[in-house]
Amino acid sequence: MMSIDKKLFLILTLVVFLTGCANGSDLAATPTNAAALADEPATPGGTELAVFEFDLAAAPPQPDIPSVHKTYSSSFLVGAALEPDQLDSDAHVGLLVHHFNSLTAENAMKPVSIQPTEGNFTWENADKLVQFARASGMAVHGHTLVWHNQAAEWMFQDSEGNPLEATPENKELVLKRLEDHIRAVVGRYKEDINVWDVVNEVIDEQENDCMRRTVWYELTGTDYIVTAFQTADETAPEATLILNDYSTTDQKKRACIYKVVKELQAQGVPIEGIGMQMHANIQNPAPAAVEQTIEMLFELGEIHITELDLSVYPNDSDTYEAVPEDILLKQGYRYKELFEVFERQSDKIESVTFWGMADDHTWLKTFPITRLNLPLLFDENLQAKNAYWGIIDPLQLPIMTQLVDIPRGTPQIDGEAEILWATQPWSSLKLSDSVTAGFQTRWDENNLYVCVKADASPEDLGAIDVYLDENNGKTDHYEEDDRHITFQGGDCSNCEGVVFAIDSGEDGMLLEAAIPLGTEADIQDEIGFDIRVAAAGQNPAAWNDRSLSQDADTSKYGTLKFIDAPKVTAAVYGTPVIDGEEDEVWASANQEETAVWVLGASGSTGTVKTLWDEEYLYAYVVVTDSLLSKKARNPWEQDSFEIYVDQNNAKTTTYEPDDGQYRINFENERSYLGGAAEEKITTATRVTDSGYIVELAIQFDYIKPQEGMLIGYEFQVNNDENGDGIRDSVVTWNDPTHQTYQNTSRMGLLVFTK
């Protein structure tokens, strides 16, 4: 129960606040000394906020386009991070109010911004954002109470500004400073902020205990996390308190998040949710990885997507003077894919916040390097981009030309699903609520081969239309090289020279066709292609041109690029002992060798034998290396062997959860990417006169292997030729792209045999 003295204090405070407002004073515009308010340590400066004026009637730049937050009003809040000075722009205010119903302080609530020196609080910028949220009816997502960057460095220093040493006394001091800071900040805004990023980026998946080594950790261990959450909960018990971090779709990172949070929750630490930052790019992460991460982390509490943006680059080094239109279109489709996941998982997601309103203000223009980056829904003039339409009305997006690599192969045209068609994934077409179809293509010098399967009989299907534009001219009219072939029932129209076979059974229908090419085909050739398939009485579904204008217009066809066939090898059934010695069971195994130089033209090489059983994939590796070196700091630049596994053989351009890279150097030190993890592999190494041996077992966790099954498979040898810490050569078995660490589409194939 509140005491009489405290009630009187609050009444007097309210009178002073109202008097100040009547006189037009700005009560929190200057720093406040916390020592003057010892009786109210939770609210330095009182609870009153600075007074600002906003034009909430400011028109948005495009008032007639749908509101983002209203579009998703039944699913989750839609927020934006911003700086206070953006509220001085009517255009930005109009954009913010029209499209967002939650806001996050990009920097104004970080410790160094609010309490730059001990006891001196600078509230104005944070007040401005909260006051705007009050006036406009927006939610506020608090960011952040604890971070190793933009921290208030005085918390880690003595009275003379020297770094504190890790002692019990200093630990107590630092935790008390943290507690006082959180009580002040959370207490001031407890009526306004519904969610707090209590701790930010505290996880490091490379550490055995999963904890990032920061000054916080060095001085307090994990107690700073406990103190932060407990203090925030005591101060604002109604707020949702979350742990916020990046790269949450990385399997090892999310496993660490899960482990750490579970342990802390078991100790009674009030962690109530997870913030997935979601700084995505034009290529990663895969939608499947996002979905799986949401489902996994929801076991810890509610999910908030906290810092969403989508870089137009796939890496940290590329630059554009002007971002190509096709990249901005691809960005629109990427946003579409992500929001489809968010919608499916909306029962778990409370908010989706973009890390910025528009491309005129984004941290990605200076991080990780200075370059033009346009990662948000609205452009630099605050106009809606393809990214916006991708999440609001994808049908408004221009048709994107899909480019697909097609391996060489010559199937037998007999209507049978031979193993060649099992080596690549099927492209799917949804014909109706109950009927789906899939197709694949292959090529050789003389023909393009098409295989279509559908879970329906030929009688339940309409036409299957195949379209070719051999010179890939992409014209708005047909040229002499363009061709339209129709299969329906057992018949074929415009089929001069075409050989085809159709078979049907309980599982549905399968069509195989060999279509002669006008000129001899070769690797790297590209042709225009599209296909339409219809269920009986339904409109057709198209692979690329959803406007269905293929009959007279080739400009919206997709593109097939001819590549060489992937290598295929067989793993024989058997179970070796993993000890670095070649057991007798290896005598029956097939041996493959590295042959594709992706860095350098000579250097260390390797031979690999494989076996399998119901639980593991085994490999016995002999590496020839004249000088063994691990001088490089980066493990991939050390003398090492890498093996890649794509268990579902999906051949994707980004890693899915089943994909993994395992790296072992000659001293048996291991590192991983993707779904690979320490607990999934057993290894032994042995140095020889000519190099080193690696023997390993990788656990299957996404498939149940059986005879005849195919998986994606690749291996490579890394070499520091002269021991100077720089990788001089990389040689692979099959993949020529040097992208296997993030792209499984060019891996070779491994088939299980007995």
Q: Quick one: angle between helices 251-266 and 287-297, nearest 10?
A: 10
Cβ within 8 Å of residue 305, ≥6 positions away: 275, 276, 278, 342, 349, 351, 352, 353
Query: What is the rounded CA–CA span in Å between residue 560 and residue 447?
Result: 13
- The pair phi, psi for residue 10, each rounded to 5°, is -70, -35
Query: What is the rounded CA–CA span in Å between residue 472 and residue 527?
Result: 5
Query: What is the rounded CA–CA span in Å between residue 173 and residue 168?
Result: 9
3-state helix, strand, coil in the chain (%, to 5): 25, 30, 45
Given 180, 197, 245, 695, which residue is catalytic? 245
Active site residue 245: yes
Q: Measured between alpha carbons, how far is residue 634 from residues 640, 644, 661, 663 in Å?
A: 11, 18, 15, 12
Cis bond upstream, residue 411 (ω within 30)? no
Contact of 175 with 220, CB cutoff 8 Å: yes
**In sequence order, what are the beta bridge partners of 499?**
514
Active site residue 656: no
- The pair phi, psi for residue 665, each rounded to 5°, is -90, 180
Given 201, 637, 656, 658, which residue is catalytic? 201
Residue whose entry in the numeric block shows the structure tokens 């980056």? 373
Given 307, 359, 695, 728, which residue is catalytic? 307
Query: What is the rounded CA–CA span in Å between residue 179 and residue 303?
Result: 26
Query: What is the rounded CA–CA span in Å between residue 13 and residue 645?
Result: 66
Active site residue 496: no
Cβ within 8 Å of residue 422, ≥6 positions away: 710
Q: Measured between alpha carbons, how far is residue 371 from residues 282, 363, 384 in Å?
A: 15, 11, 21
Residue by residue, what is the 3-state secondary structure of 79-100? EEEECHHHHHCHHHHHHHHHHC
Which residues are catalytically annotated?
201, 245, 307
